[in-house]
Structure 1
Amino acid sequence: MLSNASARIFDVVVGLGSNVGQREQQLERAVSAIARLGAVLACSSVYETAPVGPPQPDFLNAAVRLHTTLEPHALLDHLLEIERAAGRERRERWGPRVLDLDVLWISGVVLATERLSVPHPELRRRAFALVPLLDVAPEALDPVTQQAYADMARALGTTGVRRVSFRLGDALGFP
Structure 2
Amino acid sequence: MSRFYQTPAFPAGAGPDFVNAAIELESACDGEQILGHLHAVEAEFGRQRVQRWGARTLDLDLIGMGSLVLPDAKTQQYWRQLPLAQQKTMAPRELVIPHPRLAERGFVLVPVMDVAPDWCHPTTGLTIRQMHDALPEALRQEVVAL
TM-score, normalisation: structure 2: 0.79
* In the alignment, structure 1 residue 47 sits paired with structure 2 residue 26: no
Contact 1:54 1:94 in 2 (8 A): no
Aligned to 2:107: 128
TM-align CA RMSD: 1.3
Residue of 150, 158, 162 corresponding to 2:144: 162
Contact 1:106 1:118 in 2 (8 A): yes
Structure 2, unaligned stretches of length 5 or more?
A: 72-91
Aligned to 1:66: 25
1:51–1:87 Cα change, 3 Å: same
Q: How many residues align?
A: 122
Aligned to 1:167: none
- Equivalent residues in 2 for 1:67-106 (5 A)? 67-106=26-65
Identity of aligned residues (%): 39
Alignment partners' CA distance in 2, 1:74 and 1:80: 10
Aligned to 1:118: 97
Runs of 4+ in 1 over 4 A off after TM superposition: none
Contact 1:119 1:142 in 2 (8 A): yes
Contact 1:110 1:118 in 2 (8 A): yes
The AA in structure 2 aligned to 1:160 is: E
TM-score, normalisation: structure 1: 0.66
Alignment partners' CA distance in 2, 1:150 and 1:144: 16
Aligned to 1:146: 125
Deviation sequence 1:31-85 (CA, Å, 0-9, x none): xxxxxxxxxxxx1001100112252200000011100000111111111111111
Structure 1, unaligned stretches of length 5 or more?
A: 1-42, 165-175
Alignment partners' CA distance in 2, 1:99 and 1:73: 19
The AA in structure 1 aligned to 2:122 is: P
The AA in structure 1 aligned to 2:128 is: Y
1:59–1:106 Cα change, 3 Å: same
Counting helix residues as a fraction of each chain, which structure ranks higher? 2
The AA in structure 1 aligned to 2:144 is: R
Alignment partners' CA distance in 1, 2:117 and 2:11: 28
Deviation of 1:151 (Å): 0.9
Counting strand residues as a fraction of each chain, which structure ranks higher? 1
Give the match's secondary structure for 2:24.
Answer: strand
